[in-house]
Chain A
Amino acid sequence: MTDTREALMVGRTSDGRLVQRPLSPHLQVYRPQITSVLSILHRATGIALSAGTLLLVWWLVAAARGDAAYAAVAGFVRSPLGILLLFGWTASLWYHFCAGLRHLAWDAGVGYELPTMHRSGRAVLIATAVLTLLTWIVGVAAM
């Protein structure tokens, strides 16, 4: 054994044989289901939001530096690429927010039954769409 983490992959089948278990979601192996797809989406939006912090930092630094620097951020946010990124980050934020609530409910021991899980998964998707559109409607109206 070259890696001690492999020790955690060892399990037993029902007839007692020792087998190696997969450690983490194997993206290419399992058939996609709403449970796994939403889980992967939670991680993907987490990565997207981590990258999105660059815009947050840029915005704060520009506001602290002066009018010219702030105009540059404002100009970028209004550009086609800026709008596309901002829309993606808005959707990512709401998805991660709603799916995060679902995760916190699981942490509290609530909502583990499969039908409940499927229902809460669909609710997360619907809430994400509604909140994202609502944010943009309010945002565009306020411009």
Chain B
Amino acid sequence: MSGITKIAVMRSQLGRVRGLGAAHGGTHHWWAQRLTALALLPLSLWFVLSVLRLGGLPRSAVAHFASHPVNAALLAGLVLATFHHAQLGLQVIVDDYVHHERARMATLLAIRGVAALLGLIALFAIGRLAFSG
């Protein structure tokens, strides 16, 4: 870890401090993660309480629950915030621990794809429950 290191990067100290690379930004990811975290605080509390009330009840009770516009909207909000937050969080872990660039990019793309797909499936299921339940 220690030892003398030669910096072979054509970049000023100021540029490094600002941290603006080719992405021309860095705060958006951080901010989106906090925003979705804040949204998930009340949403996950509401979800746990709802599941506790629905646990053990038949499907018709879940359909009736999800047919209420407020419940359907909150479920959709929960799904959107959850998958956005999960994808942002998993990206940070991959950035930290997957060092090979191709593997890192492939993993990030896979995470985005799976998160988007699962989120869309969940949204369509909520929509069907909301409009037919």
Partners in one complex: yes
Residues of chain A having any CB pair with chain B under 8 Å: 1, 3-4, 7-8, 10, 13, 17-25, 43, 46-47, 49-50, 53-54, 56-57, 60-64, 66-67, 70-71, 93, 97, 100-101, 103-104, 107, 135, 138-139, 142-143
Instruction: Give the residue of A24, A50, A61 whose beta carbon is less than 8 angstroms from that of B89.
Output: A50
A93 B44 Cβ-Cβ under 8 A: yes
Scan residues 1-49 of chain B and give those whose CB is less than 8 A from a CB of chain A.
Answer: 1-9, 11, 16, 21, 34, 37-38, 40-41, 44, 48
Provide the main secondary structure of the chain A interface.
Answer: helix
User: How distant is B74 from chain A, measured CB to nearest CB, in Å?
Assistant: 13
Q: Are A50 and B125 in contact (CB under 8 A)?
A: no
Q: How far is the CA of A25 from the CA of B97 in the complex (A)?
A: 9
Q: Is the CB of A57 within 8 A of B125?
A: yes
Question: B118 at the A/B interface (Cβ < 8 Å)?
Answer: yes
Verify B59–A63 contact, CB threshold 8 A: yes
Whole-angstrom distance between the Cβ of B89 and the nearest chain A Cβ: 5
Residues of B whose CB lies within 8 Å of any CB of A are: 1-9, 11, 16, 21, 34, 37-38, 40-41, 44, 48, 52-53, 55-56, 58-59, 62-63, 66, 75, 79, 82-83, 86, 89-90, 93, 96-97, 99, 101, 118, 121-122, 124-126, 128-129
In the bound complex, residues from chain A placing their C-beta under 8 Å from that of B4 are 17-19
B5 & A63 in contact (Cβ 8 Å cutoff): no
Other-chain residue from A1, A60, A64 in contact with B8 (beta carbon distance below 8 A) = A1
Closest to A2 in B: B101
Q: Is the CB of B86 within 8 A of A63?
A: no
Kindly provide the distance from the CB of B62 to the nearest chain A CB, expressed in whole angstroms: 5
Q: Which 7 A-B pairs have the closest CB atoms?
A: A24-B96, A70-B59, A60-B125, A64-B125, A7-B9, A64-B128, A50-B86
Q: Point out the residues of chain A lying under 8 angstroms from B93, CB to CB.
A: 43, 46-47
A85–chain B nearest beta-carbon distance, Å: 14
Contact of A25 among B52, B53, B86, B96 (CB under 8 A): B96
Q: Which of A7, A47, A64, A104 contacts B90 (CB 8 A)?
A: A47
Determine the main DSSP class of B at the interface with A: helix
- Nearest A residue to B62 via CB reads A63
Q: Which residue of A lies closest to B66 (CB)?
A: A63
Are B96 and A101 in touch, CB under 8 angstroms? Answer: no
Residue of B nearest to A43 (CB): B93
- Cross-chain contact B86 with A7 (CB below 8 angstroms): no
| Residue on A nearest B38 in the bound complex, by CB | A104
A23 with B96: in contact, given A50-B86, A57-B121 (CB under 8 Å)?
yes
Instruction: Write the nearest CB–CB distance from B59 to chain A, whole angstroms.
Output: 4
**Whole-angstrom distance between the Cβ of B113 and the nearest chain A Cβ:** 14
